[in-house]
Chain A
Amino acid sequence: MIPAAFDYQRPASVDEAIRLLTDSGDEAKILAGGHSLLPLMKLRLAAPSLLIDIGRLRDLSYITDAGDHIAIGALTRHHEVETSSVLRAQVPLLAHATSQVGDPQVRHRGTIGGSLAHGDPASDLPAVCLALGATFTAAGPGGSRQIPADDFFQGFLETALEPNEVLVEISVPKVPDAGWSFQKFNRRAQDWAIVGVAAVHNGSTGVALVNMASTPVRASSVESAIAGGASAGEAAAHASDGLDPPADLNASTEYRRHLAEVLVRRALQEAGVA
């Protein structure tokens, strides 16, 4: 339970963090709230030679109404997202789903950017961002670029971020009047979802799944079934189309497929799909 030796730097700005990343190649890791990375390091499943602690870059912590979307700084803690009156009014799915992350201690330390950049298929927020059609801003040596959530999650714990890029902002469209649902199925409140479903229904329908593949994943077949006029129950039958869900202690592949169907149906119904 003691990490392997590592160096530690605490840059004063994002630019300095990018410079440190560029200088140290892929041996470095960004440390934000530490609630994904540090447990892995304690188990020695991760052993970065350098930790770049951006946790005190307070200018990356904000929730701002930016017209048709809400801009959220990457270092905004889950607790702030969960309790934000702006998000509760404009993107209630995100505020609610964030209230289901881990436990209060985790939510007071963990950050939205850290959770997304970790790219864990079992985490709640990646699926929520997929369903909402969020956009991520990454800053690198050559400036910043926008990455749609759909292009962000590339493999198991792998994202579209380059080794010398830092996730700085998450932009989510305002959907104050949309129907929505977040179904998190787990055994203990603090656990990762065995299967989770995020759905938003606003003319078009966005549905994404937690822990049903090696990456957070959009339930495209469900979305197109609804677009084609299917009912919630009919669409839910396509919940795991094209997916090869994992098997673990909590669920076999077969059970995950079953859960996905039940939970997608419930999510769609709660979101207002007939």
Chain B
Amino acid sequence: MSILGNRVQRREDLRFLTSGGVYGDDLSIEGALWVTFVRSTMAHARIVEIDVDEARRRPGVVGVFTGADIDLPAMPAVAEAMSRPVLAKGTVRFVGEAVAVVLTEERYQGEDAAESVFVEYEPLATVVDAVSALTGDVYLFPELGTNVALPMNEPQADDFFDGCEVVVRQRLINQRVAPCPLEVRSGAAAWEGGRIVQHASNQAPHGAKAAIAGLYGLDAADVRVIAPDVGGGFGAKIALYAEDMVLPWLAKAVERPVRWTESRSESMLGLGHGRAQVQDVAIGGSRDGKVLAYRLEVVQDAGAYPSLGAFLPALTRMMTSGTYDIPKVEFSAASVVTNTTPVVAYRGAGRPEATAAVERAMDLFAAELGMDPAAVRKLNVVANDKFPFTTPTGTVYDIGDYGGAIDLVLEASGYDGLRAEQAKRREAGDTRQIGIGVSSYVEITNGAGPPGEFAKVEILAGGKARVYTGTSPHGQGHETAWTMLASEQLGIPMEEIEFVANDTDLVAEGGGTMGSRSLQSGGLAVHEASITLVGKATQLAAELLEANPDDVVLDKVGGRFHVAGTPSAGRSWSELAEAAAGKDQELVVSHSSSPPGPTFPFGAHVAVVEVDTETGQVILVRLVAVDDAGTIVNPLLAEGQRHGGLAQGVAQALMEEVRYDTDGNPVTSNLADYAMISATELPSFELVSMATPTPVNVLGAKGIGESGTIGSTPAVQSAVVDAVAHLGIRHIDMPATPERVWRAIATASDSKKEHS
């Protein structure tokens, strides 16, 4: 009987749920000084002078440094002329940018001393919103004469909508949100001779190692990066930050280890933000509901220094047409810099934005035709016999059953009954109207960077095993899933399989954990390495049993190799380990998986909201989610991913938005002002299973980390609009705050009065 597919409990949880987790701030680092950053209070300014004299005299201060002291190259950037120094030099470009650093014996002394660093600024004009950055004349890097970091202009056909009976256009705001991992950023650096040992709260330690080696001109062998337990990342901890990168320099300058943990207030300014697109959609088709042409134009806000966020439109572009078979599709984009916190990857990274756009466009198209939004979707999805399907933007979808997912979610949600209830409330003029939102989505997982991942599986003395992985678990449950995969092949119980990750000295290579790639790359590598290891062990067992290797089998229940048909004379893993040691052999396999390409999980969601038409308040009543991630290794883990993703997706639709005033001052920099969602604002999710295995890997597995986020946001947004659609409302931007919904209702009823 296979262990795969079972709800195996997370073996890491006892540690995480008790006091066993060791996060960055929990590390014991002997002799370390505390690092406190002095952060810019101006969104855009020239630094006239930084006076550190008083700070140097404060108790416990060992060193105070500014950008002028630091002789490191700038951090690599999309556009070199827009690269960021590890501490600001000459100019600050967003509130929160580090301008100086204080090193103290005790942590609290750092906060006192940082307050006494006096920075004189000469304010410069600011540009806060992306559209103004594209069209205006305030430049962050004036010598360039543009704020565009990455153009993605593609020609637009004049006759694009020719032949369409209906064309609908709308500007959509896919607002800036904050990833808010429960663990803020934290790190440490210590030199051991010529070697740097760096701890970082990070999702890709091997990438971090390469970045440190690159910036400091070190051999890779002289850099060790360890990600201790990491309390969430959501994409925002893929790359190291300026604050991480300066730590080795500081440790060298004071000849002591240094450590840093930011506060939540700092994290809201310094950890990258997500989304931040302005989208113009135009959708055209025939009156009977067939979509013929769809155009998406994106202005991506990359923040002050373009990094991962500048690339998000490339991912959006890949998924422009979503689950639909649309004959003509156009996409263009520009990533621009603004005087705001840099934008990075955030759960879905570019794909939720694509889905939000096309799903909103579908609803607008359906509303214009007076058709049911689910019916319009069904009419336009890619047919099952068209896979592998190449989209007009060149993306090749592996396999799907998009219509089936819609049918399933409509049935599970009782869609017809919901519509009947809605009609009743509309008829009664109820203060509490219900809205029903439908989304259909497909996304790309394991789509960025090399698709393969490293694993090593070895047999230890005594017959236990150890699994090494290049993925970088930070909450996903890889320890459970990877040991399940190894156990399945080796016939060694999970409890006897050790797990190693997140240390570049212990794991030879790694791509890290991002983009819902881990199972289909890293899990696959463990699976394949385990099979190879069994083959190697079979050879050894055959030698010991004096049998033909082809006749030797592994009894996975007992973990014994024997000749088929004669189980009594076998060899256990323990005996093989001992025999291998005697022969100076090792029972170990290092392996990199090489899946041929990405996979495309898909699904459909139905959201039901209640809108109080007097106050504009929205209550999410139900969320029904069909998510197809192919073959599921552990439903418990997959459901956990779906739950978290759904919550964050709902949060974008209803609650969360990073906001700045017109001068670029952040006004949502704590969790009282930034409406991070909590369990009390969410219903119990209704998860519906659907599994269409991918042909791309032998596990049949697609990514599940981001599906919830991608499907839920448009479903919930559409539900809000749907609740008030009978009042003549076609669109409400996210987040659908009470005041925003109330204003939409008030405006609609005003215009109705004017027309009556």
Query: Interface residues, chain A, CB within 8 Å of chain B?
Result: 1-2, 4-5, 43-44, 185, 187-192, 194, 249-252, 255, 258-259, 262-263
A194 to B677, alpha carbons, bound, how many Å? 16
Binds A, one of B476-484, B496-504, B666-674: B666-674
Q: Are B265 and A251 in contact (CB under 8 A)?
A: no
Partner of A1, one of B112, B265, B743: B265
Q: Which residues of A contact B672 (CB under 8 A)?
A: 191-192
Chain A CB within 8 A of B594 CB = no
Residue of A whose beta carbon sits closest to that of B657: A249
Query: Interface residues, chain B, CB within 8 Å of chain A?
Result: 107-108, 111-112, 115, 263-265, 614-615, 617, 655, 659, 667-668, 670, 672-673, 675, 677-678, 680-681, 737-739, 742-743
Partner of A2, one of B111, B668, B670, B677: B111
Most buried by B among A5, A187, A189: A187
Instruction: Please report whether the interface of chain A is mostly helix, strand, loop or mixed according to DSSP.
Output: loop
Q: Are A249 and B659 in contact (CB under 8 A)?
A: yes
Q: Which residues of A contact B263 (CB under 8 A)?
A: 1
Q: Which residues of B contact A191 (CB under 8 A)?
A: 672, 675
Q: Are B264 and A189 in contact (CB under 8 A)?
A: no
Extra A-B contacts (15), CB below 8 Å, given A191-B675, A255-B743, A258-B742:
A2-B107, A2-B108, A5-B112, A185-B615, A187-B675, A187-B737, A188-B655, A188-B680, A189-B678, A189-B680, A249-B659, A250-B737, A251-B738, A252-B739, A255-B742
What number of A-B contacts does a CB cutoff of 8 Å give? 54
Q: Which residues of A contact B670 (CB under 8 A)?
A: 43
A259 to B741, alpha carbons, bound, how many Å? 13
Q: Are B112 and A4 in contact (CB under 8 A)?
A: yes
A263 to B737, alpha carbons, bound, how many Å? 17
Q: Are B681 and A189 in contact (CB under 8 A)?
A: yes
Q: Are B668 and A188 in contact (CB under 8 A)?
A: no
Q: Are A251 and B615 in contact (CB under 8 A)?
A: no
Q: Are B681 and A249 in contact (CB under 8 A)?
A: no
Q: Are B678 and A190 in contact (CB under 8 A)?
A: yes
Q: Which residues of B contact A259 (CB under 8 A)?
A: 615
A5 to B737, alpha carbons, bound, how many Å? 39
Q: Which residues of B contact A188 (CB under 8 A)?
A: 655, 675, 677-678, 680-681
Closest CB in chain B relative to A98 CB, distance in Å: 17
Residue of B whose beta carbon sits closest to that of A190: B678
- CB-defined A-B contacts under 8 Å, sample of 19: A1-B111, A1-B264, A2-B107, A43-B265, A185-B738, A187-B675, A187-B737, A188-B655, A188-B678, A188-B681, A189-B678, A191-B675, A192-B672, A250-B738, A250-B739, A255-B739, A259-B615, A262-B615, A263-B615
A5 to B115, alpha carbons, bound, how many Å? 13
A43 to B668, alpha carbons, bound, how many Å? 14
Q: Are A194 and B738 in contact (CB under 8 A)?
A: yes
Partner of B739, one of A5, A43, A189, A251: A251
Q: Which residues of A contact B675 (CB under 8 A)?
A: 187-188, 191
Residue of B whose beta carbon sits closest to that of A262: B614
Residue of A whose beta carbon sits closest to that of B673: A249
Partner of A249, one of B112, B667, B738: B667
A1 to B111, alpha carbons, bound, how many Å? 8
Closest CB in chain B relative to A248 CB, distance in Å: 9
